[in-house]
Chains A and B, each alone.
Chain A
């Protein structure tokens, strides 16, 4: 169950990776990817994508805009922000929170969440050959509801996942 979920999350994150600039998936990231070992296929279009898992289930995702409010509600989603050091990089954070764990104290809000994290380069022109991201089931989200400063991270031992292009 854990492996299947991880593969699903990997596919979802891959879809999220593509939906960066104005909701469009860059050309470099479009195409078909496959995890041969786990028999997972990923197809990415210009504005959406799908993943077919080993057990036949298929996952689809589409880009859409959102706001900080969703995060305040411990809502799931893919959050994208600029890398503070390199404007060409985007940090993609996919969250699948456990809303029941949400706590608030002195403007600080925190809750447990499954976390995927990836960094993509928006200047890449050639087709990317691999997508790499980290994943943990029991990550943590915390933010200051006043300043809206946010931190999301994983405990020790987060997984490192890699999917490769087939065409």
Chain B
């Protein structure tokens, strides 16, 4: 929590300075003097260690320090014995105070006793009378309620019992009829169903369906198992044939390893309240005195010396209050007690004559409710049960008779159907299974042999039409350093096998490349013919085929590609391969970015060589940050020759120019070799907390600085993190931009600010004289803590 300092000073303490050589305050033009030798002021009382010797007051002593200022007050008066005057004042004051007390206390005590006694007596008797009236009403109401409750309970119980007995009895009869009929019909119904099933066509239908199913399954098994087996066996036999020649050639010229230059792109309450309201005013008007009114605090005695008069006056005044209190309390209490008793009796008598009809009625209502409820429940329960039981049995029997036969018929039919279906299924399944199995066993061998042979024939025809197969495909580099870099030209090494006896002409053979994730790469040569023919019965490695390069969005991800070989326009087989793209140099932030507003800090980037080769001596990393947030003092850092697998941390000095607590910072860095080839990149979004010991914010209409006149730029400084105490702050205001000379700070610059404790905020202003209209510029407020730069705030206007 922060708040601005109060703008008005609450206190001013003045100082008195009694020495020379020390600057005195301007308004203390007459410094007080002191007693030479003792340092006490002339009118000060004696030293505390000698209070029991009033007859020997401290005498002024001779000055011993001639360099001290000369006293400017008159010499002290001669000593006077004031003890008798003090004693007389004490005695007279005590008597005068007692006199006032004797006049006031009897009246005050009687009035307070009468008032408070009346209140207490009234309340006590009022409560007793109210309770008595309530109890009388309760008894009368209870008897009345009992009579009415008994009558109502009897009538209502009988009526409810009749209805409940009928409903419950009927339900009971229906339920019994259903249960009994079910039990009696189940078995006869089921037996009838079984007999009907035995006489049906279940067996003959099972046999017919089983035979058809067996034949169908045999055909399917041959097609699904034996046909592909035939093709596979044939294919394997071809692959097992001996290879007559093992050849290799490059489909195009290899790229030089040294090539470079590839570049890419992220309720009781009511009573209480009434009572309180009644008593409250009386409580507040107690007449018990809090102190004397001083009616007799008048000095009549006079003395010849001022000291004696002062002593008498002071003693008289002090004794007056004491005399008053001692007498007042005693006399007040004596008058209070009898008045209290008298007031209590009067209050009680008054209470007894009040009207308590409301309490009686309230009690009567409570009594009637209780009597009625008790009688009603007892009579209701007794009559309900008697009538209910008598009605229940007859209703149950009638419902049973009415429902039994219909229930029986329904349950019998259900049992019959169930028995029929179960028996039919058993007979059918048995016949089906036997017919299916025998048919399958007899038909399958013939179907299998035929399917196998067909498979062999078809595969042989396919080899004749497509005599070449791709047996391998993998990516290859053009910059041989062990990493597939984004932007680097990559090629494919393909292995082809010619199963034909004769040569296959180069112009009839093509290879094709497709990226399964089209966004991951750019295929520069998607299809091309072979450069050479394939010899008969040969296996040939074709290198430097096709051409593509990976995009930067695929870095550190595995991506798939499909290579296909085509012979005379027919697809002769394909291979899918994967590759993972990496930068030669991996760039990562070495530590969380920390920024301090207006102050220099550094951003560290760790460079790791992932390649199998060493970088060249001119390898460097360039940092790019949003210029509106951070000023990068040196954007490029040299990495130099970095061996394979080695790490190096490079630092970039930066100054935060953003204000506020947090910023979302886009950090981008690029690594390049001496040749200019980009070999590493970093693109990171960092949520950075700007940490400064102090925070500074500029408020108000800063844009007013564009217009001529005096503009007061308000600013607030808060100590956010500094725990150093008593360190003054210095704030310097400057302007930059083409109009800088147009602004003049009025008053001291830098301004000196008092120390701020942790969390404390101060608000002040920088008055600026703007000489003329202008197109704006930048106001820079640089804050230092005892010389240590802690913040540099820039405000555009």
Contacts and interface: CB of A to CB of B under 8 A. Distances in A.
Contact of A12 (B15, B725, B726): B15
A110 B726 contact: no
Most B CB contacts (10 A, CB to CB) among A16, A53, A66, A114 go to: A66
Interface string A81-122: 111111001010100110100010111101000100111000
Most A CB contacts (10 A, CB to CB) among B726, B746, B758, B761 go to: B726
Interface string B581-613: 000000000000000000000000000000000
Interface residues of A, number: 78
Given A78-B12, A79-B9, A151 B755 contact: no
A65 B12 contact: yes
A73 B765 contact: no
Interface in A115-167: 117-119, 132-134, 136, 139-140, 142, 144, 147-158, 160
Contacts of A139: 728, 752
B269 interface: no
Contact of A84 (B712, B725, B760): B760
A156 B730 contact: yes
B26 A74 contact: yes
B7 A132 contact: no
Contact of A80 (B11, B729, B751, B767): B11
B22 A73 contact: no
B1 interface: yes
B764 A149 contact: yes
A150 B10 CA distance: 13
Given A85-B1, A139-B752, A155 B757 contact: no
Contacts of A42: none
A152 B751 CA distance: 9
Given A134-B726, A151-B751, A83 B15 contact: no
Given A83-B757, A140-B752, A150 B3 contact: no
A57 to B, nearest CB: 4
B672 to A, nearest CB: 45
Most B CB contacts (10 A, CB to CB) among A23, A79, A114, A140 go to: A140
B710 interface: yes
A19 B24 contact: no
Contacts of B3: 84-85
B4 interface: yes
Contacts of B746: 105-106, 108
A151 B728 contact: no
B54 interface: no
B305 to A, nearest CB: 30
A67 interface: yes
Nearest to B28: A76
A47 to B, nearest CB: 11
B8 A148 contact: yes
Contact of A155 (B6, B25, B728, B758): B728
Given A84-B760, A156-B730, A60 B765 contact: no
A147 B748 CA distance: 18
A140 B767 CA distance: 16
Nearest to B763: A149
A77 B28 CA distance: 10
Nearest to B787: A156
A84 B761 contact: yes
Contact of A62 (B16, B26, B730, B787): B16
A39 interface: no
Given A99-B26, A140-B748, A106 B754 contact: no
Given A5-B22, A134-B726, A78 B15 contact: yes
A101 B100 CA distance: 64
A67 B754 contact: no
A79 B12 contact: yes
B16 A61 contact: yes
Interface string B717-749: 000000001111110000000000000001110
B757 A85 contact: yes
B729 to A, nearest CB: 6
B14 to A, nearest CB: 4
Contact of B762 (A73, A84, A118): A84
A111 to B, nearest CB: 10
A81 B21 contact: no
A5 B25 CA distance: 15
A133 B726 contact: yes
B19 A158 contact: no
B8 A60 contact: no
B729 A153 contact: yes
Nearest to B761: A84
A106 B710 contact: yes
A70 interface: yes
A77 B754 contact: no
A149 B747 contact: no
Nearest to B785: A156
A108 B766 CA distance: 9
B13 A78 contact: yes
Most A CB contacts (10 A, CB to CB) among B23, B726, B752 go to: B752
Given A84-B760, A84-B762, A85-B761, A59 B19 contact: yes
B471 to A, nearest CB: 79
A153 B727 CA distance: 9
Most A CB contacts (10 A, CB to CB) among B3, B15, B17, B786 go to: B15
Contact of A153 (B13, B25, B751): B751
Given A70-B27, A85-B759, A149 B12 contact: no
B748 A106 contact: no
Most A CB contacts (10 A, CB to CB) among B14, B34, B65, B755 go to: B14
A50 interface: yes
B726 A64 contact: no
Contacts of A119: 725-726, 755, 757
B625 to A, nearest CB: 32
B760 A158 contact: no
B726 A118 contact: yes
Given A108-B747, A158-B786, A151 B752 contact: yes
Contact of B13 (A66, A82, A103, A132): A66
A63 B14 CA distance: 6
Contact of A75 (B27, B710, B754, B769): B27
B4 A160 contact: no
B784 A156 contact: yes
A30 interface: no
Nearest to B750: A155
B11 A75 contact: no
Most A CB contacts (10 A, CB to CB) among B11, B14, B27 go to: B11
A81 B761 contact: no
B286 to A, nearest CB: 32
B242 to A, nearest CB: 93
8 contacts: A20-B11, A74-B26, A79-B12, A85-B759, A97-B26, A107-B767, A108-B767, A151-B752
Q: Which 8 A-B pairs have the closest CB atoms?
A: A66-B12, A153-B752, A76-B25, A156-B787, A57-B19, A154-B728, A85-B760, A134-B726
